[in-house]
A = this chain, B = another copy of it.
Amino acid sequence: MAGSLTITRIEAFDVRFPTARAHDGSDAMNPDPDYSAAYLILHTGDPALEGHGFAFTIGEGTDICVAAIRTLGMHLEGLVLEDAFADMGAFSRSLIGISHLRWLGPEKGVIHLATAAVLNAVWDLFGKVRGLPVWRLVAGMTPEELVGLVDFRYLTDALTPDQALDILRAAEPGKAERIAQLEASGYPAYTTSAGWLGYDDDKVRRLCQEALADGFTHFKLKVGRSLEDDLRRTRIAREVIGPDRQLMVDANQVWSVPEAIEWMHGLAEVRPMWIEEPTSPDDILGHAAIARAITPIKVATGEHVHNRVMFKQLFQANAVSYAQIDACRLASVNEVLAVQLLAARFGVPVCPHAGGVGLCELVVHLAAIDFVCVSGTMDGRVVEWVDHLHEQFLEPARVSRARYVMPRVPGYTQLLPESMDRYRYPDGTFWIEDAAR
C-alpha cells in the first residue's frame, strides 16, 4: 500500500509570529524581525500521512516564498512517494533543474528557499513513512546511498564522488556507538538568547548569568551598531562568563571588509572565539582577507550562504573556520550533506545556524548526521540554540544542560495545528484580533 502512495495536493501558507514587539531576534541588520515560515503541507493518499516543510523568513515577503512553493509544488502533484525515496538525489536534482525556475536563481534567493521548504517536506514524509526521525533515517544509510543524495555538479574540482565515499567509509566504524551516544547525552549547544542587540545591559547580564547557570560554555552576542556599545556589552558578558568559556560575536553582515577588520581589532580584548557574518555573505575573498587580518579570532559564516558552490569556495579560500549551514537556506538534507562532506574534506567544523522559528528543530537532525555519518566527531562543534517559539512545534527542540536532546518522533519537524491556525498571516486568529486592536 505504501508503495503506491502519491502526493495528492500541496497546501502552502504564510505563518508569522509577532516577535518584533519584544526585540527578540534584533541585530544590526535586522532591527525588527517577525519570525515567519513559508510553510507547506504535502497531502498524500493516506489522510494520516502529511509531509511538513518550511523556509524561515522574517515577516514581509513570506508570501513571495509561498508563491514560489506553490509553483514548485505543482511539479510534485501525482509523485509516487517510493519513487522519490528510492533516489532522493535524483529527485532533488530534478526540482533544482526545472530550467524556467532555475533562471530565477540559479540556486539562490526565493526559489532556493522554496526548494529547501519543499525538500524538507519530502524528507519529513520519508521519515514518517519509514517510522524514523530524519537523522536516524539518514544515519542508517550506507556510504553509497549517502553519496547518491549529493549533487556533485560544480563540486568536482574540490570533491569527487569517490573522495566523498572515502570520507563516509572512514566514518563507518563506530556509527552505532555514536548513535547511542547522541541518544544518551545529546549534542553540544551554544546560546544566542542573551545577546540580541535590542536588549539593555541589565538584560544581557541577567541572561548571561542564567545561561551560565544552565551549563552553557559558549555565548554569542550581536554586535555592529556602535563599537562603544559593543565593547560595553561584550565586557559585561566576558565578566559574567569568566576567562575560560567562549564568547562569540555576530555582526549580521553590516561591515565592509576594512570596517570588519578595524572593528574586530577593537573587540580583540574580549577575546571572541569567532566573528560571525562580518560582511556580505557573498564576499568569499572578503571573508578570507578578514580571516587573515584578525587572527587569532576566527571567522564564521553560513546562514546566508546560499548554496554548496559558495561553501566550496569559502573552504578553498580558507575564508571560514566554522561553517554555519542553514536548514532552510540550503536545499535540505541533500545540499547540507554536500556541505558537510566539503567541510570534512577541508577540515572545517560545521556549526549549524539556528534560532528563528523551527531552525533549532531542524538542525539537531543535521548536526547528528554530521556526527554519525561524516565527521565522526563533536570536537570544536557547537550548535546554535535560541529559546524562542519551540512551544509551537509538535516535538519542541529541547536543550538540557547545554546539550540538544535528540528528536524521537518520526519525520523532520512540524508546527502544531493550533499554532498554524493562530499565526497564519493574515487570516489567523492572532492577526485578525491584532488588526481589530
Instruction: Point out residues on A near B: beta carbons under 8 Å.
Output: 29-34, 57-61, 63-65, 67-68, 71, 98-113, 152-157, 253, 256-259, 279-286, 289, 304, 306-307, 309-310, 312-313, 316-317
Contact between chains at A309 and B289 (CB < 8 Å): no
- The one of B98, B101, B109, B153 in contact with A104, judged by C-beta atoms closer than 8 angstroms, is B109
**B153 x A256 contact (CB < 8 A):** yes
Known contacts A108-B306, A110-B109, A103 near B61 by CB under 8 Å: yes
Closest to A254 in B: B153
Could you say which residues of chain B place their CB within 8 Å of the CB of A111? 61, 64, 109-110
Greatest chain B CB density within 10 A among A64, A310, A312 is at A64
Once A109-B104, A110-B111 are accepted as A-B contacts, the answer to whether A256 and B71 lie under 8 Å apart by CB is: no
* Complex: chain B residue closest to A29, CB-CB: B99
Complex: A280 Cα to B33 Cα, angstroms: 32
Contacts of A256 in B (CB 8 A): 152-157
Count the copies: 2
Q: Which of B29, B157, B279 contacts A154 (CB 8 A)?
A: B279
Query: Inside 8 A of A317's CB, which chain B residues have their CB?
Result: 285
Given A99-B58, A103-B30, A110-B109: A313 in contact with B284 (beta carbons within 8 A): yes
A61 and B104 within 8 A (CB): yes
Q: In the complex where A109-B105, A153-B256 touch, is A310 in contact with B285 (Cβ < 8 A)?
A: no
How near does chain B come to A21, taking the closest CB pair, in angstroms? 15
User: Which residue from chain B places its CB closest to the CB of A260 in the assembled complex?
Assistant: B157
Of B106, B286, B310, which one neighbours A157 at CB under 8 angstroms?
B286
A259 to B157, CA, bound (A): 9
Closest to A75 in B: B60
Tell me if B309 and A283 are in contact (CB < 8 A). Answer: yes
Contact status of A156 and B108, CB under 8 A, knowing A29-B99, A61-B103: no
Closest to A56 in B: B103
A295 to B29, CA, bound (A): 42
> A68 CA to B57 CA in the complex, in Å?
14
Give A116 Cβ to nearest chain B Cβ, in Å: 12
Chosen A-B contacts, 22 in total, with CB atoms closer than 8 Å, are A57-B100, A57-B103, A60-B71, A61-B71, A64-B104, A64-B110, A64-B111, A65-B104, A68-B110, A105-B109, A106-B280, A106-B281, A108-B108, A108-B282, A109-B306, A155-B256, A157-B286, A282-B310, A283-B309, A284-B285, A284-B313, A286-B313
Complex Cα distance, B101 from A59, in Å, reads: 8
B283 touches A313 (CB 8 A): yes
Question: A57: which B residues are within 8 A, CB to CB?
Answer: 100, 103-104
Assuming A64-B111, A282-B306, A286-B313, what are 20 further A-B pairs, CB within 8 angstroms? A32-B99, A33-B100, A33-B103, A60-B101, A61-B68, A63-B67, A63-B71, A64-B68, A106-B253, A152-B256, A153-B280, A154-B256, A155-B256, A156-B256, A156-B257, A157-B257, A157-B289, A284-B284, A284-B313, A285-B316
The closest CB in chain B to the CB of A153 belongs to B256
Residues of B within 8 A of A109 (CB): 104-105, 108-112, 306
Q: How far is the CA of A100 from the CA of B253 in the complex (A)?
A: 14
